[in-house]
Amino acid sequence: MKFYLRLWPFFREHWGRCLVVLANVGLFSVANIYFLALVKELSYDIERGRVGLFVYRICAGLTLALLRSLASYGQTYNMDWIGQRLIMKLRLRLYEHLQKLSMDFFSKWKIGDIMSRSTNDLQVVQNVFVANIVTLLPETATFFGVLIYLLVLSWKLLLLTLITLPLFAWLIQLFSVRMKRISKFNQRKLADLASILQESIYGISIIKAFAAEQKEIDKYTKENERSFWISMKSARLHCLQEPILFMLQIAMILFVFMVGGIQIIEGHITVGNFIAFCLGLGMLVNPVTAFGKLAVKQQQAHVALDRIFEVLDMEPTVKEAKKALHRTITGNVRIENLSFAYTAANGLVLKNIDLAVQAGEVIALVGPSGGGKTTLVNLLPRFYDATAGRVLIDGLDVKEYAFASLRSQIGIVTQETILFSGTIWDNIAYGKDQATQAEIEAAAQMANADKFIRLFPSGYLTYLGERGVRLSGGQKQRVAIARALLSDPKILILDEATSALDNESEKLVQQALENLMHNRTTFVIAHRLSTIIHADRIVVLDGGQISAIGRHEELLQTSPLYQKLYRLQLSKENG
């Protein structure tokens, strides 16, 4: 019931169509009941030889059948329309909610699991839950309408029939409980399959480099086989349910025939009433069977909805202030006594960081891997919030800025360039939809990207494919730099922006980055120390703490860790 209550707002939006559905359901049910009464009267017409009335009632029966068919179409189409609209809005609401969740959610959850909930689970809801509602309304109306009519015809026969209902209910409950348990496990296995598929596509170059195709196939086959056997358990339940319920129905019908036949012989009931009763009983069989199937299948939908609402119920850990400010920044950054931990269990990643950066200053962050460099810069656009201390931009705590205002003024270029399917134009203009052709081309020229873009037959309208597969690493990086240039950020974060490039590409990208860094507060993370020796200041991070700050020449004299890192870099470059 809780699922219906949570979905009620979706239905409430379309109350007009809901009324049309209810009207058609009522007409459907009334047509069924009148048809039973008509059959009873037809039997009397035959007994008494009333040919005229017999033909009239046959025509009335055809009219009833037509009305029933129209009512069935009206309620099914409109209910299906509402159901499909519900799924569409639920899909959109889930997507919107995912966009609002904080970065820690995506670092904890498998992408495959998120995708499974957004696709497989929604498909289950669409195939089962919506179909249930479409079937449930007319069958429920028919069930109670016919039940009342049969009570009038012969309460004794009806009472004998209803004796079997508790057995029906018990069997339905038995199947439903087992189906829910199996469905929950099956949805998890489908999520695991989606995760393996996503990881293998994402890491296909590594898989091929290590000739690990068979290893990945074996892993996928193992999970696929598990999913198959779980699905077969579900299929076995479905296959068992129908014949068991059918046998129970046949036993009930034969029992009614036996008792009814005796009552006709003894004169307690007329043949017409008994025929009408049997037809009504046949109409009850459909709803009872449907309820049984729906109760079992609905457990699958409940499991799927449970998984969907689990995501929808999650709150972002980083929230925008109620009166968040939209303000143009100049780029002064102050980090005060800052500490940060991703989780309390894992301990602090950053400890007591104090740093003041003037607008336009270039700050390089260096240190061993895992020292907290990327974590520190991720606190500037509020991907995460500090555990203790503050991050101030232009004297104002970043928590007081509106997300859109803050993040639109911070540009980020990372080692792993993220491009979207679409054209080169779309990707450059990603942060500024209304950009002019002149602005886009100027940004590409400053990023050293204009020349290679024009070599494509379609130029800026070249379709890149998923994750920009048609471009080399250096080309991707220059498109990303053009994107950052176009947004004209006041603060710039360069996180290993050239570490994965060859020398020629690195030179072109480095020139583009210098254009991008001009007159901007810049935080540079780089393993290649040769790329940051001209930074205004270099911050050495060790174990989440600042161990030294200074220019390149100063640190070579005063910081043992920086000296060590520099010597290691020289030895790698000299081979």
Burial 384-411 (b: 16+ CB within 10 A, else e): bebeebebbbeebebbebebeebbbbbb
CA separation (Å) from 315 to 57, 309, 384, 445? 63, 12, 14, 42
Q: Is it the case that residue 467 has pLDDT exceeding 90?
A: no
Q: Please report whether residue 56 resides in a domain.
A: yes
Give the percent of the chain with pLDDT over 70.
81
Going by pLDDT thresholds of 50, 70 and 90, the confidence category of residue 236 is confident
Q: Is it the case that residue 352 has pLDDT exceeding 60?
A: yes
Going by pLDDT thresholds of 50, 70 and 90, the confidence category of residue 14 is confident
- Residues 6 or more apart whose CB falls under 8 angstroms from that of 474 comprise 501, 502, 504, 505, 506, 508, 509
Q: Provide the token pair at 162.
A: 């209803």
- What angle is formed at CA 420 by the lines to CA 415 and CA 422, rounded to 5 degrees? 140
Q: Which residue type does 267 have?
A: G
Going by pLDDT thresholds of 50, 70 and 90, the confidence category of residue 266 is confident
Residue count of the chain, please give it. Answer: 575
Q: Is it the case that residue 1 has pLDDT exceeding 60?
A: no
Q: Please report whether residue 574 resides in a domain.
A: no
What angle do the packed helices 503-517 and 437-446 form, to 10 degrees?
120
Collapsed DSSP state (helix, strand, coil) of residue 411: strand
Q: What is the pLDDT of residues 407-441, one digit of tens each?
A: 888 888 877 777 877 888 988 888 787 888 998 98
Neighbours of 508 (CB within 10 A): 21
More confident residue, 281 or 476: 476
Going by pLDDT thresholds of 50, 70 and 90, the confidence category of residue 520 is confident
The winner for highest mean pLDDT among 79-83, 414-418, 516-520, 553-557 is 553-557
More confident residue, 483 or 32: 483
Instruction: Report the distance separating Cα 278 and Cα 272, nearest Å.
Output: 10
Q: Is it the case that residue 492 has pLDDT exceeding 80?
A: yes
Q: What is the pLDDT of residues 174-215, one digit of tens each?
A: 666 676 667 667 767 776 777 777 667 666 655 655 566 777
The winner for highest mean pLDDT among 202-216, 316-330, 412-426, 495-509 is 316-330
Instruction: Report the distance separating Cα 477 and Cα 113, nearest Å.
Output: 29
Going by pLDDT thresholds of 50, 70 and 90, the confidence category of residue 333 is very high
Q: Is it the case that residue 356 has pLDDT exceeding 90?
A: yes
Going by pLDDT thresholds of 50, 70 and 90, the confidence category of residue 251 is confident
- Strand partners of residue 538: 364, 550
Q: Is it the case that residue 337 has pLDDT exceeding 70?
A: yes
Q: What is the pLDDT of residue 295?
A: 65
Q: Which domain holds residue 191?
A: 2-312
Give the percent of the chain with pLDDT over 90.
12
Q: Is it the case that residue 480 has pLDDT exceeding 90?
A: no
Q: What is the pLDDT of residue 434?
A: 83
Least confident of 204-208, 451-455, 465-469: 204-208
Q: What is the pLDDT of residue 165?
A: 65
Least confident of 169-173, 352-356, 530-534, 549-553: 169-173
More confident residue, 133 or 482: 482
Q: Please report whether residue 48 resides in a domain.
A: yes
Q: In the sheet that 388-393 helps form, which strands lie side by side, from edge to edge? A: 350-357, 333-340, 388-393, 396-397
Q: Is it the case that residue 47 has pLDDT exceeding 80?
A: no
More confident residue, 204 or 529: 529
Q: What is the pLDDT of residue 262?
A: 77
| Closest residue by Cα to residue 138 from 210, 32, 11 | 32
What angle do the packed helices 213-265 and 271-312 form, to 10 degrees?
150
Q: What is the pLDDT of residue 10?
A: 74
The winner for highest mean pLDDT among 37-41, 243-247, 273-277, 358-362 is 358-362
Secondary structure letter of residue 127 according to DSSP: I
CA separation (Å) from 351 to 218, 332, 348, 387, 493? 44, 22, 7, 10, 21
Q: Please report whether residue 392 resides in a domain.
A: no
Collapsed DSSP state (helix, strand, coil) of residue 492: strand
Q: Which residue type does 396 have?
A: L
The number of distinct structural domains making up the chain is: 1
- Segment 267-289 mean pLDDT: 73
Q: Please report whether residue 206 resides in a domain.
A: yes
Q: Is it the case that residue 509 has pLDDT exceeding 90?
A: no
The winner for highest mean pLDDT among 9-23, 87-101, 237-251, 539-553 is 539-553
Least confident of 131-140, 141-150, 251-260, 465-474: 131-140
Q: What is the pLDDT of residue 290?
A: 67
Contact between residue 444 and residue 490 where contact means Cβ atoms under 8 Å apart: no
More confident residue, 338 or 83: 338
Instruction: Report the distance separating Cα 37 and Cα 41, nearest Å.
Output: 6
Instruction: Report the distance separating Cα 351 and Cα 372, nearest Å.
Output: 9
Q: What is the pLDDT of residue 46?
A: 67
Instruction: Report the distance separating Cα 354 and Cα 389, nearest Å.
Output: 9
Going by pLDDT thresholds of 50, 70 and 90, the confidence category of residue 273 is confident
- Segment 307-321 mean pLDDT: 86
Collapsed DSSP state (helix, strand, coil) of residue 317: coil
- Greatest Cα pair distance in the chain: 120
Q: Is it the case that residue 573 has pLDDT exceeding 60?
A: no
Neighbours of 415 (CB within 10 A): 18
- Segment 248-252 mean pLDDT: 70
Q: Is it the case that residue 482 has pLDDT exceeding 80?
A: yes
Q: Provide the token pair at 401.
A: 């800025």
Instruction: Report the distance separating Cα 509 and Cα 20, nearest Å.
Output: 63
CATH of the domain at 271: 1.20.1560.10
Mean pLDDT score of the chain, rounded to an integer? Answer: 79
CA separation (Å) from 115 to 188, 195, 202, 232? 12, 8, 14, 24
Contact between residue 198 and residue 223 where contact means Cβ atoms under 8 Å apart: no
Q: Please report whether residue 34 resides in a domain.
A: yes
H-assigned helices in 385-529: 403-408, 424-428, 437-446, 450-455, 473-487, 503-517
